[in-house]
Amino acid sequence: MRIGVPKEIKTLEFRVGLTPGAVESLTARGHEVFVETNAGAGVGLTDEAYQAAGATVLATADEVFAAAEMIVKVKEPQAVEVARLKPHHILFTYLHLAADKAQAIGLMKSGCTAIAYETVTDSAGRLPLLAPMSQVAGRMAVDVGANALLRPSGGRGLLLGGVPGVPAAKVAILGGGVSGQNAAEMAVGHRADVTIFDVSAARLAQLDAQFGGRVKTAFATRDAVSAAVYDADLVLGCVLVAGAAAPKLVTRADLSKMRKGSVLVDVSIDQGGCFETSRATTHADPIYEVDGIVHYCVANMPGAAPYTSTFALGASTIPYVRALADKGVDAAFADDAGLAAGLNVRDGKITYRAVAQALDL
């Protein structure tokens, strides 16, 4: 198969879809790989390294798309990239379509086969291609939230871990999945006062055992979440419904009951965000304020740590890339129902129910 790796073009996005090591594993199996020049520059991966791995380096994204059957990316295709897609293309990347109707319609019109990292499942029903970036985003959420709490960023001027004689910040984590768990690990490390909310009693029991009493856990009823948000200094939105739009857990009215200078970090923003007042921001302009509450809603948080993120993601994606390249889409899907669950668009139609429902398509 002919596989293309274009340079990512989302604002301040430095990750790359395949590393030279991944390329070598593909070319060794007889596949051709075409990489746009400087695609890996953001993580220190040179064109020469890709060429040594057997790739052909091309000067433009137009050439990469024209040469390739399968496009392997990190972030959802931007409008100019969607315009390059043809019916013969297989697109393998994060899509997050439930929050992006324009992209969904563009992919439908292209006729391509679009497979989303975030809805691929493993044999246990987990999301193996979402997990590594959820780990990065969860850990980053505490760092960016701690910075946003400082006065120069518009926050209360509160140190997350406090000091002797001054209490630590209160952190409410909404969602106890992979990103929520990783956020809790970092927040506990900062000596913050941490409470995790989830709708699964079994998951809360797991977290309670893992943290050995160092965090509080609570069932996520509306009343309990609201009370915690009003009392929190930092709220981390880490909820996930696979493929679907995130539920809105904090309303505009809730903000008036929070302390001015408190911070909301919306890790769920790729799926539309779990705060009513969330809107996607970029690393170039990450923070805004609504009713005195600081919001951080960057839609590609792991892109700020591209080295860590590229290698963590690549280790998870390459077995699936090899399967698609070796077998073709239909045979790969027949052999792996979890990979088939990644299919979001084919032959001009939405093929993932939660996306279709979210977008009314």
Q: Where in the sequence numbering do the catalytic residues fall?
A: 96, 270
Dihedrals phi, psi of 307, to nearest 5 degrees: -65, -55
Evaluate whether 78 touches 58 at the Cβ level (below 8 Å).
no
3-state secondary structure of 44: coil
Please tell me what DSSP assigns to residue 38: T
3-state secondary structure of 130: coil
Evaluate whether 5 touches 72 at the Cβ level (below 8 Å).
yes
Instruction: Retrieve residue 68's tokens.
Output: 């390739």
Instruction: Retrieve residue 119's tokens.
Output: 């809805």
DSSP string, 324-336: HHHH-HHHHHHH-
Please tell me what DSSP assigns to residue 29: T
Instruction: Retrieve residue 46's tokens.
Output: 């040179």
**Contact partners, residue 213, CB within 8 Å, separation at least 6:** none
Q: List residues bridging with 216 in a β-sheet.
A: 195
At residue 325's C-alpha, the angle toward residues 355 and 71, to 5°, is: 55
Instruction: Find, among 237, 236, 296, 291, the residue nearest to 259 by Cα.
Output: 291
Q: What number of CA atoms fall less than 13 Å from residue 27's CA on the CB side? A: 19
Q: For residue 339, what are the CA distances in angstroms to 122, 323, 346?
A: 8, 9, 14
Stated length of the chain: 361
**Contact partners, residue 205, CB within 8 Å, separation at least 6:** none
Instruction: Find, among 3, 24, 181, 2, the residue nearest to 93 by Cα.
Output: 3
